[in-house]
Amino acid sequence: MIASALQAFQDASLRTERDVSLAERTSFRIGGKADLWVTPDSEDGICLAAEICTANEIPFFVIGKGSNLLADDDGFRGCVLSTENCTECRVNGTGVHASAGVSLTGLAVTVCNAGLSGFSFAYGIPGTVGGALLMNAGAYGGETADVVTSVFCYDPVEGTRLTLSREACEFGYRSSVFQKRNLIILGADFRLSPGNPEKIREEMKDYLQRRKDKQPLEYPSAGSVFRRYPGTYTSKLIDEAGLRGFQIGDAQVSEKHAGFIVNRGHATSAEVRQLISVIRDEIKRRFGIDIVCEIRTIPQTEL
């Protein structure tokens, strides 16, 4: 099946690689190999790649920049469909269309230069538009749901395209309908407000400095591992439980920000999972609180 899919990808001029290290393509720098890695460069190309996988009965997984992902040590038996080259972006008045693979930081700069405000919260979040929509990514009081108007998707089971209104996306804190429905995000329309580029640039600079001050950017990670617990920061609970700096193998609760798990060298996904389990159990024991993971896994499993 892989051989015939490879031929079909080649016939469709879709760039394909074999046996790709997920550690090299995810921000955690953890994970074994994926059998196939395909990189379409358009929204049509994403649909076509998914169609080829379905026709050849090859499991596939859509990835943006891999900045919210823990990849399994055994890798992924199937095809990773990367949106990294699907980067079309059009500004029209206060409206913006961005394809799934557009980087959040790049988009924040583009709209700032166009004199549009409302997207500076995303500056410095190391993901793509697709990942941000699925996660409802946010920071510093802003989130993706605030500015999106429509999301364009592909349903790989039905083989059809559909457009979801903002309401249909069911956005919540770090959640969306895309975490429940098997849809591929192709791109989205955003609505922003006119703003002063100088002021927006200052705001983005401030956010980036806050990230540098608070986050352990010197080590590979997947960002905050747990969702915020209503009324408190999970990182505060982890800290109060005495787990700051706690380490299993090379997976460590960051000394700088207890909400992050960092890879201190050659961490494995098994070590990260063990560490998550210790943190959860300790928070439950001390505070009676069940904390929930924000990061996701490839292949998709419960964390």
Ligand X SMILES: Cc1cc2nc3c(=O)[nH]c(=O)nc-3n(C[C@H](O)[C@H](O)[C@H](O)COP(=O)(O)OP(=O)(O)OC[C@H]3O[C@@H](n4cnc5c(N)ncnc54)[C@H](O)[C@@H]3O)c2cc1C
Binding site residues, ligand X, CB under 6 A:
27, 61-69, 83, 100, 125-128, 130-132, 134-135, 137-139, 178, 184-185, 215, 217, 221-223, 296
Active site residue 294: yes
Closer residue to ligand X (CB): 118 or 130: 130
Structure tokens at 21: 């290290």
Active site residue 264: no
Closer residue to ligand X (CB): 96 or 135: 135
From the CB of 97, what's the least distance to ligand X, in Å? 14
Q: Of the residues 224, 235, 254, 269, which is catalytic?
A: 224
From the CB of 286, what's the least distance to ligand X, in Å? 26
Structure tokens at 38: 């395909």
In angstroms, how far is CA 113 from the centroid of its own chain?
25
Q: Of the residues 84, 203, 271, 294, which is catalytic?
A: 294
State the greatest distance between any 2 C-alpha atoms of the chain, in Å, as a whole number. Answer: 58
Under 8 Å between Cβ of 279 and 243: yes
> Cβ of 199: how many Cβ atoms within 10 Å?
12
DSSP states of 193-247 as a string? Answer: EE--HHHHHHHHHHHHHHHHHHS-TTS-EEEE-BPPBTTB-HHHHHHHTT-TT-E
Q: Of the residues 25, 29, 174, 273, which is catalytic?
A: 174
From the CB of 196, what's the least distance to ligand X, in Å? 24
Active site residue 224: yes
Closer residue to ligand X (CB): 96 or 134: 134
In angstroms, how far is CA 98 from the centroid of its own chain?
16
Under 8 Å between Cβ of 173 and 230: no
Closer residue to ligand X (CB): 116 or 122: 122
Task: Collect all residues with Cβ–Cβ distance below 8 Å to 96 and sequence separation of at least 6.
Answer: 89, 90, 107, 110, 111, 116, 189, 190, 191, 192
From the CB of 150, what's the least distance to ligand X, in Å? 15
Under 8 Å between Cβ of 125 and 107: no
DSSP bridge partners of 253: 261
From the CB of 288, what's the least distance to ligand X, in Å? 27
Closer residue to ligand X (CB): 149 or 196: 149
Q: List active site positions.
A: 174, 224, 294
